[in-house]
Amino acid sequence: MSVTITDSDISPGDLATAFYADNPHGAVTTFAGFVRDFNTQGEVETLHLECYVEMAERVLSDLGAEARQRFGLKSWQIVHRFGSLSSTTPIVFVATSADHRAEAFSACEFVMDTLKTDAPFWKREDFEGEQQWVTVAARDVDRRRRWDTKDPVS
Amino acid sequence: MSVTITDSDISPGDLATAFYADNPHGAVTTFAGFVRDFNTQGEVETLHLECYVEMAERVLSDLGAEARQRFGLKSWQIVHRFGSLSSTTPIVFVATSADHRAEAFSACEFVMDTLKTDAPFWKREDFEGEQQWVTVAARDVDRRRRWDTKDPVS
Amino acid sequence: MAIRVKFFSLIREAVETEELTLNFDAEISTVAGLKSFLGERGEAWVEALSHPNLIQAVNQRVVFQEEAINDGDDVAFFPPMTGG
Amino acid sequence: MAIRVKFFSLIREAVETEELTLNFDAEISTVAGLKSFLGERGEAWVEALSHPNLIQAVNQRVVFQEEAINDGDDVAFFPPMTGG
């Protein structure tokens, strides 16, 4: 049960290893997101992630607690980078553990879907000398919205 | 893109670390399952996993290939233990990577749901001096079946 | 009373300001009132703070602009978030 | 012709056999025929191989009992699988 917001490099492998050691429960799901080297318009050189740190800590702590309650998690962890990142750099790591896989999977996906639209980070892509703020993808809004009504585990 | 069936200890942390290093794609989902220390009837001392190794290799290779095609994965890995396992020992590790998280999550869950009922492993629980073969849970059959009809990514 | 006001992303760029500390008498009682007050700084501020997708937070929680502001609060203005 | 036959879990325990290599003339052409042939070994075999949830595989693929058997095939009998 922890949230880390940092502008230092994160290591999803080390984070997963530590999470497994502390939480060898029946079902452990993790998600790791890495900077892609492309967007809809072409090659991306650098991704800049701006963050409202105090708010991110609060939002992600509340989100973890909500996921725990909603899906009966035994444990969870959320780690999120900010700052300037080159392609293939890890951005985010989420881990959830439960007695059964349905809950672990749903909770991890719920956290990721919610974090995308509700956590105070703003992505700016630098490519071919231009800087462009990333807008919210319609599919991300849709994925976030389904948790408002969806059965907790399906 | 690999399958490993082994009666030696597996380390999900090391497996995740190596998978991340080789596949730093936009979205990487992993699942790790550990032996629980209880079942519906009480405490479990040892879980014995019998395996038809040649068939498991074939079934899981086919399953990974199907997941890759169905969800447009960039990479996948399946590792499964057999033999005698005490509680908290890792049993299974699945990793999937894709450009976007919807595909990585769905593929990982698809592999786990299918593997539960279609991969030739048989679990026997030893507790209080008795040995009992685990029967297929109705919820596992239901979860397997939904992939026959479900939209690839939802 | 004193409040801190923060700006992020597009909004920060538009008003060319990361953070302000404001001291004023209690005539500003809501986020909407604060927006009007800040609009007196110029057209760029009016435009940024009337952005159709503007989100406002008080003490790290997203709120409607009718939300009350009290002494010591942190207020923030920013566009839709793109985490993960 | 020669085939290998494997038994797992409950079925292995019931017939007290892990693996057989059978050599016979070609009168057995399907999995169903093989089951009848093995049933001649006794009541335990008949019972195990008529288990309502019995699954059979030929060359590592699950098949119906009408599946043909050919020289060199691997045949396996087992109960529903419980992986993961």
**B153 in a structural domain:** no
C-alpha distances (whole Å) from C52 to each of B107, B145, C16, D73 are 37, 45, 19, 70
CA distance B94 to D84: 10
On the CB side of B16, how many CA atoms lie within 13 Å of its CA?
A: 28
| Res A136: pLDDT | 87
Strands B2-6 and A130-133, sheet pairing: unpaired
Classify residue B100: in a domain, yes or no: yes
Give kind and range of the element (H or E) at residue B64.
helix B53-71
pLDDT of residue A152: 53
Average pLDDT for B72-85:
97
pLDDT at residue B41 in the model: 65
Could you identify the residue written with the tokens 């009168």?
D27
Q: Is the pLDDT of residue B40 over 80?
A: no
Residues of A in contact with B93 (CB under 8 A): none
Q: Within a domain: residue A130? A: yes
Shortest Cα distance, chain B CAs vs residue A6, angstroms? 19
Give the closest of B59, B120, B135 to D8, CB-based: B120
Q: Could you tell me which residues come within 8 angstroms of residue A119 by beta carbon, excluding any fewer than 6 positions away?
A: A56, A59, A60, A63, A80, C81, C83, C84
ipTM (interface predicted TM): 0.92
d(CA D84, CA B114): 9
Is pLDDT above 70 for A41?
A: no
Mean pLDDT, range A48-59, rounded to an integer:
97
Q: Which residue has the higher pLDDT, A129 or C32?
A: C32
The residue count of chain A comes to 154
Contact A133 C10 (CB under 8 A): yes
| Interchain proximity A50–C8, CB inside 8 Å | yes
Task: Retrieve residue A44's tokens.
Answer: 């991306």
- Is D6 within 8 Å of B91 when comparing Cβ atoms? no
The three-class DSSP label of residue A11 is coil
Q: Quickly state the pLDDT bin for A40 (edges 50, 70, 90).
A: low
Q: With contacts defined as CB-CB under 8 Å, which chain B residues touch D57?
A: 52, 55, 120
Mean pLDDT, rounded, for A75-96: 97
Distance, CA of C3 to CA of C22 (rounded, Å):
5
Quote the mean pLDDT of chain B: 92
Chain B residues inside the 8 Å CB shell of A24? 34, 88-90
User: In this prediction, what percent of chain D has a pLDDT beyond 90?
Assistant: 90
B89 lies in some domain: yes
Looking at the predicted structure, is the pLDDT value of residue A96 above 80?
yes
For residue B113, what pLDDT band results from cuts at 50, 70 and 90? very high
Question: With an 8 Å Cβ cutoff, is A139 touching chain B?
Answer: yes
> In this structure, what are the phi and psi dihedrals at residue D69, rounded to the nearest 5 degrees?
-115, 135
Which residues are registered as beta bridge partners of A127? Answer: A130
Mean pLDDT of all residues in A81-103: 96
Work out whether strand A27-34 and strand B27-34 pair parallel, antiparallel, or are unpaired. antiparallel
Nearest to D82 by CA among B52, B61, B117: B117
Residue of D nearest to B34 (CA): D84
Instruction: List the domain range (segments joined by +) for residue D56.
Output: 2-78
Residue of A nearest to B86 (CA): A24
Question: pLDDT digits over B2-17, tens only?
Answer: 999 999 999 999 999 9
**Which 3-state string (H, E, C) describes B91-141?**
EEEEEEEECCHHHHHHHHHHHHHHHHHHCCEEEEEEECCEEEECCCCHHHH
pLDDT of residue A27: 98
Q: Which amino acid is at B89?
A: T
pLDDT, average across residues B47-59: 97
- In chain A, what percentage of residues exceed pLDDT 70? 94
- Name the residue of chain D whose CA is nearest to B56's CA: D60
In a domain, D61, yes or no: yes
Q: What percent of chain B has pLDDT over 90?
A: 74
B25, B29, B100, B123: best mutation site toward chain A, by most A Cβ within 10 Å?
Answer: B29
Q: Is residue A75 part of a domain?
A: yes
Confidence of residue B36 (pLDDT cuts 50, 70, 90): confident
The whole-angstrom separation of Cα A52 and Cα B128 is 54
**Where residue B150 falls among pLDDT bands split at 50, 70, 90?**
low
State the number of CA atoms in the 13 A half-sphere of A61 facing the CB.
11
Contact B136 D81 (CB under 8 A): yes
Q: What is the mean pLDDT of residues B42-52?
A: 87
- Average pLDDT value for residue range B33-48: 80
pLDDT at site A138? 87
Bridge partners (DSSP) of residue A95 are: A30, A77
| Minimal Cβ distance to B13: which of A17, A108, A112 | A17
pLDDT on residue A28: 98
Residue of B38, B39, B41, B18 lying closest to B28 (CA atoms): B18
Q: In total, how many domains does chain A have?
A: 1
**Listed range (A122-126, B76-80, C3-7) with the worst mean pLDDT:** A122-126
User: What are the phi and psi torsion angles at B11 (to 5°)?
Assistant: -120, 100
Per-residue model confidence (pLDDT) at position A130: 85
Q: How many domains does chain C have?
A: 1
- Give a yes or no: residue B154 inside a domain: no
> Residue B152: pLDDT above 60?
no
Instruction: For residues D31-43, give the mean pLDDT.
Output: 95
Dihedral over Cα of C40, C41, C44, C47: its sign? negative
The residue that leads in pLDDT, A151 or D37, is D37
pLDDT at residue A39 greater than cutoff 90: no
Q: What is the mean pLDDT of residues D28-43?
A: 95
Position C64 in a domain: yes
- In terms of C-beta density within 10 A (0-12 exposed, 13-18 middle, 19 or more buried), how is residue B146 classed? exposed
| Domain extent for A24 | 2-148
Q: Which of A99, A95, A31 is nearest to A67 (CA)?
A: A95
Place of tokens 């293939």: A88
Given a cut of 90, is residue B138 above it in pLDDT? no
Amino acid letter, residue C56: Q
Annotate C24-61 with DSSP letters as a single string. Answer: --TT--BHHHHHHHHHTT-HHHHHHHT-TT-EEEETTE
Q: What is the pLDDT of residue A153?
A: 55
Flag if B135 and D61 touch (Cβ within 8 Å): no
Say which residues have a Cβ less than 8 Å from residue D64's Cβ, sequence separation at least 6: D31
Q: Do B50 and D60 make contact, defined as CB atoms within 8 angstroms? A: no
In this predicted model, what pLDDT tens digit does every residue of D51-79 receive, in sequence order? 999 999 999 999 999 999 999 999 999 99
Burial of A116-146, coded b for 16+ CB within 10 Å and e otherwise, reads bbbbbbbbbbebeeeeebbeeeeebeebbee
C-alpha B148/C-alpha A73 separation (Å) is 28
**What is residue D10's DSSP assignment?**
H
Please indicate, yes or no, if residue D83 is contained in any of the structural domains. no
d(CA A90, CA A34): 4
Question: Where residue A57 sits, what CATH number does that domain have?
Answer: 3.90.1170.40
pLDDT in tens, C20-63: 999 987 788 999 999 999 999 999 999 999 999 999 999 999 99
- Cβ count within 10 A of residue A63: 20
Q: If you average pLDDT over residues B29-50, what whole number do you get?
A: 85
User: Quick check: is B66 in a domain?
Assistant: yes
pLDDT at site A126: 85
Q: Is A34 on the interface with B (CB under 8 A)?
A: yes
pLDDT at A71: 97
Q: Tokens 């590792």 — which residue?
A: B79
Identify the residue among A10, A31, A40, A140 best suited for mutation to test binding to B, counting B beta carbons within 10 A and taking the highest. A31
Calculate Rg over the CA atoms of chain C.
12
Contacts B36 to A, Cβ<8 Å: 25-26, 99
B92 in D contact zone (CB under 8 Å): yes
Task: Indicate which CATH number applies to the domain containing D68.
Answer: 3.10.20.30
Q: What is the pLDDT of residue B107?
A: 98
Asked if the structure places residue B60 within a domain, the reply is: yes
